[in-house]
Amino acid sequence: MNDYIEEFKKTGWVFGVLGGAGMLARLILTDEKYQTMKWIRMVVAGTIVGVICYFSIYKSDIDPFYKSVLSAVSGSLAPELFNWLRTKFLQKTS
């Protein structure tokens, strides 16, 4: 586990930045009007998903370019992912 954390400190944080940047790009390209707080929440969600993506593909033998693309794309899809997880969780607890 310490290896993962040390490696994350060296290069993994970039995945979080890429995930957040992917979400920010999506927000910039949309015509919908969002409040500033919603922008911040969505970018943070993209960052979290980027970090999750990093840990899920850390040891896989994938070209670094494709890893970064996966992180950015997954970050831009973060709202749908979190809404789906929230819906599933609420269904299970109801």
How far is the C-alpha of 56 from the C-alpha of 94, rounded, in Å?
A: 30
Mean pLDDT on 54-71: 81
Supply the DSSP symbol for 11: I
Cα(9)–Cα(72) distance, integer angstroms: 19
Mean pLDDT for 78-92 is 87
**Above 70 in pLDDT, residue 29?**
yes
pLDDT beyond 80 at 30: yes
The pLDDT tens digits of the residues spanning 1-21 come to 677 677 777 777 787 888 888
Mutual angle of helices 13-29 and 64-76, in 10-degree steps: 50
- In the predicted model, what is the mean pLDDT of the chain? 83
pLDDT of residue 85: 87
Tokens of 14: 């970039």
Q: Where are the domains of the chain?
A: 2-93
pLDDT of 38 above 80: yes
Q: Which residue matches tokens 């299970």?
A: 92
Residue 33 CA to residue 21 CA, distance in Å, equals: 19
Instruction: Tell me which amino acid residue 56 is.
Output: S
